[in-house]
Structure 1
């Protein structure tokens, strides 16, 4: 099979940063699906994993943890999928990624893609949808489908126009009764957040707790931080209600001052969507269930794909351009690349 990989640690502007390589076709294990990849989504984890490559690494590394494709073969213990099924998934960061012709993925973290979406539109969803779902319902403990639970309560989503924020707003808007407040800092991102279903949008580039107060919210009940955790830490500690909950997805260069939350008895929970697959947790199949539910919501017209840009066919050049856009931090929604060899 062919793949676009990194074979040595090089800067992104080096012409050899990404190269096309040939590898043996992978063989599925007992729980695996062998998928012919048709489209891949681009996420910050891609460039973070690229930058984390060590100087002395010699094996090629295939990045990419968002894909949609067609099942070519299944492992000996797989009964829920068969060849020909169209699937989507985020994959496992400890295994080769989706920037390839073929990929192995554990059947417990994959699901049949939405029937109403093409492969590119579907590939935009898995990683961010699972991250948002786990953030809202596993980490913060909201109840999906309970529209009374959040009545007269507030959920703040920091960085509402990013990939996770874009689907997080939608899930909160259709599956909970919370007042959803998103943050954005540009006219186009503000408009996007409203399009996704936010009830209010405030500017996160300045004193956003003061912006909340202008709306009449001195505090909020829950915060899902999909932005720089450290940069917003003090503001979150100020804005969260006593006995509230905060979840975050962006690792910190320094340990946040957890003491700022003590007087309010606030719970802080990290979210990392690869935890289940990395540690083979007993509830690993929950990610299959999440993606299945997201597909149902998409096909019912209740939520939509967050794809905003199709960057063309996967190649070293198009992947470089996609990483450059990710690192610039200005992406609205999701960018995808199609796979065709």
Structure 2
């Protein structure tokens, strides 16, 4: 195998309209640790975290490879690997403190990797890992929901990547939970309803009014992808003892506002397990395998909506620009070849 690979990286923080914001580079092949897989990457998807890191994390002139979603084929395994073998097709979201998936090859800990759904192509599969893990951990680990749970869940940002998975997982696994999703445009409202949301409400200023119309007694849970400036509205529309799980970075949160109703605020970051090497990080492997089984059984579907190809700087700049617009449905994928 060659000792170098093609990759897309950035060396300084630049607007995505600048051709130097993401560049094609040649890098050494990654080193494979004892529990690592060396994956040949066939498709990646772009998430808000890619944009956040690119704009806010200065690599001081050294090429930094982004990419936190991938689907591909295992080409080599570390000495202690037991879950996969060369030739296996896999999907995963990786780790934020290692080189990313925007490259020909990536080294990733096997405990963060799932077997790819057999009914999907690489582009469709690459849309799923990060959002599936985030949605799953938020619903079942942070909110502690189960198949017997009931009440009302409000999803802020229902048509985005994470919101799209939250809606599907609730519909499939928590049938007693009533789902309201915020969605601004008509196509966004149609999208979340097609995934299983029973009601849609508008974002921002109209949120309180719309929620009070469809859930006059309030909601039990909020899963939010956009929290900045909305804490007062959240407190008003939540029932006493309600719970919020947030995945964004709204700045300071004045939790004193939550006290009168005994509300709970949870943070969810799917990279916590890999970042801190927690003993239970194999849970992400198990979780992704469950998601793959559900996809193959027709219970949930890929949220992939648009594909660029091949994987190069030009196409990743286009994908970043779409994510930055804040108006995407589902997930934007960049694939090595035309998935059709």
With the shorter chain as reference, the TM-score category is: over 0.9
Separation of aligned partners in 1, 2:85 and 2:215: 53
Matched, 1:235 2:233: yes
What TM-score do the two structures reach when normalised by structure 2? 0.95
Partner of 1:45: 49
- SS of 2:91's equivalent in the other structure is strand
Matched, 1:117 2:127: no
Deviation at 1:221, TM superposition (A): 0.8
User: Are residues 9 and 203 of structure 1, via their aligned partners in 2, closer, same or farther at CA, if it must alter by over 3 Å?
Assistant: closer
- SS of 2:321's equivalent in the other structure is helix
Deviation at 1:289, TM superposition (A): 1.1
Aligned 8 A contact 1:100 1:339 in 2? no
Separation of aligned partners in 2, 1:66 and 1:50: 15
Partner of 1:188: 187
Partner of 1:157: 155
Partner of 1:29: 33
Matched, 1:92 2:90: no
- SS of 1:72's equivalent in the other structure is strand
Partner of 2:109: 106
What TM-score do the two structures reach when normalised by structure 1? 0.95
Deviation at 1:266, TM superposition (A): 0.8
Partner of 2:85: 82
Deviation at 1:27, TM superposition (A): 2.3
The counterpart of 2:14, out of the listed 6, 10, 14, is 10
- SS of 1:10's equivalent in the other structure is coil
- SS of 1:41's equivalent in the other structure is strand
Give the unaligned 5+ runs of structure 1: none
Give the unaligned 5+ runs of structure 2: none
RMSD over aligned CA atoms reads: 1.2
Matched, 1:307 2:311: no
- How many residues align? The count is 332
Separation of aligned partners in 1, 2:230 and 2:272: 24
Deviation at 1:199, TM superposition (A): 1.1
Partner of 1:220: 219
Moved more, 311-320 or 120-129: 311-320
Moved more, 258-267 or 20-29: 20-29
For residues 68-111 of structure 1, the C-alpha deviation after alignment (integer angstroms, 9 at most, x for no partner) is 00000111111110000000000100000000000011111101
